[in-house]
Structure 1
Amino acid sequence: MNYMKKTITIDALLLMIFLLIGIAGCQPKTEEQATADNRETDTAEKLEPLTSESAVEVLTAYEKAHPDSLILISTRHGDIKLRLYPETPLHRANFVRLTKAGFYDQGEFYRVVKGFAVQGGDSDTRTMKNGAYKIPQEFNPRYIHKRGALAMARYGDERNPEKESSSHNFYIVQGEPQTVQELRAFEAKHNIKYTPEQIKLYTTIGGEPSLDQEYTVFGEVIEGMEVIDKIAEEPVNGQNWPHNIVPHKIKTIAQ
């Protein structure tokens, strides 16, 4: 599909499909506590299961004690370096907490929609569990779904009117360039106003404005976007699952 020529109707349909079978299908399940026994370093932490009631308190305290903001995701296609935003403290703390505990070392990029996004964080073979909880949304008009944006998945239906995020499923936007006309339509739909800089980003490098103010963007790729493009080329089945899994290892790196 030529995304430069797509209409708002087609874009909305793409979003609906992705929400129904992709980003929206991310509900954490409650299972027994486990520890990271496959961590490559000796810094692994025990991962205490959280609930939606305890998550904010725990993550708020964790955020103050762990100022990490640089992340490295390693895959068989190469490495991706990301910067996490301090203005989304709960999401940053949650991602760092799971990373330091080794939780994401048992995950993979398990859903790929070329030209849209690649989704990771989960795996059918994971033994380590983090509890059943959601993270309050932290929408910030500064942070849009430009190409390379890192955001958290969530349920997208009436069961989640507050648009709270998944506990662990994340996605990185690949996206395509948008037209100004499309952006104006999304401004009206989401009751937002893009800055001239944001319009330039969307019309040049691209992204997915259909997701703005629907999912929390909490970071961005600063190196290795070509790796995302390689993952997006993976052959997939009818449910956008890669035929060959793309495992990932995630760690924090020096600031």
Structure 2
Amino acid sequence: MKRLVLPWLLTAALAACNQTPPPAAQPKSLPPLPGPDPGTLADSSAPAALLAYGRQYPGSEVLITTRLGKIRVKLYDDTPIHRANFLLLTRKGVFNETMFNRVVKDFAVQGGQTTGARTIRLKRYRLPPEIRPTHFHRKGALGMARYDDEQNPGRLSSNTDFYFVVGEKLTPAQSRQMSGRLLTPAQLKAYATVGGVPSLDGQYTVFGEVIEGLDVVDRIANEPVESDKWPVDNIRMKVKVVK
């Protein structure tokens, strides 16, 4: 009886059928993002933790993307705690779950975390003020809100609620009357030609400014709002560090 010789392709196929398939590749877990967990920070621990983070993981510009366009923002070096906090929350993706939640035409547009029911809540810690005479509330300034003034004599900033100044153009006399500080000739000129809200000077920390997309801030400021100043159509955001 002749021995049956199988073609080599068929032999290989049969051999493959008898082999145990290799185990499926396990998805690789992403390494945790560097920096402190914002949920573990408190008023007392935040400044030191944020300063250390800012030194190790610096950054100077962020890009905010909305349905109305993009806003590119420069963060100031001389407000290191606020800058590091904004960089940390941006890289952790916190702002990507928020929206512009308070829009007041000719005044300011505010976004980030709130205590309202229509946005996520993050454990609140506060930042010590970093109010600088050179930073003022001209149009396009980036500042940090604060709350509970009666229980907040130190004027500690919110950790997540930021705002862009819109304001109006003002005469030097109006600016002097509204501002709580002595304004320089350059600042008076900016309020007259660009506009702003000098009544906020010396009260809140300004830690950055819009360098591209001021027209987008105007579009946000002109959105229809409900009685609580929340936009009728939500203005969600995506924020990333670009420099």
- TM-score bracket for the superposition, by shorter chain length: 0.7 to 0.9
Contact 1:145-1:211 within 8 A present in 2 as well: yes
Which residue matches 2:49?
58
Contact 2:74-2:209 within 8 A present in 1 as well: yes
Which residue matches 1:96?
87
Contact 1:146-1:206 within 8 A present in 2 as well: yes
Compute the displacement of 1:132 (Å): 2.3
Choose the corresponding residue for 1:152, options 119, 141, 144.
Answer: 144
Contact 1:81-1:221 within 8 A present in 2 as well: yes
Contact 1:81-1:222 within 8 A present in 2 as well: yes
Distance 1:128 1:163 in 2: 21
Which residue matches 1:141?
133
**Bigger radius of gyration:** 2
Q: Structure 1: which 4+ aligned runs deviate by more than 4 Å?
A: 41-46, 123-128
Contact 2:38-2:89 within 8 A present in 1 as well: no
Choose the corresponding residue for 2:171, options 172, 175, 179.
Answer: 179
Structure-2 change in CA distance of 1:143 and 1:48 (3 Å): closer
Which residue matches 1:244?
233
Which residue matches 1:116?
107
1:114-170 deviations in whole A, cap 9, x for unaligned?
Answer: 1110000126565573x2211000000000000000000002622111111001100
Distance 2:158 2:150 in 1: 15
Which residue matches 2:162?
170
Instruction: Determine what percentage of the aligned residue pairs are the same residue.
Output: 45
Compute the displacement of 1:175 (Å): 1.0
Choose the corresponding residue for 1:224, options 206, 213, 227.
Answer: 213
Which consecutive residues of structure 2, in runs of 5 or more, have no partner in the other structure? 1-29
Q: Kindly indicate whether residue 187 of structure 2 is the aligned counterpart of residue 198 of structure 1.
A: yes
SS in 1 for 2:149: coil
- For the aligned residues, what is the CA RMSD? 1.9
Which residue matches 1:22?
none
Q: How does 1:4-23 map to 2 (within 5 A)?
A: none
TM-score, structure 2 normalization:
0.81
Compute the displacement of 1:176 (Å): 0.7
1:184-205 deviations in whole A, cap 9, x for unaligned?
Answer: 2234xx2x21111111000111
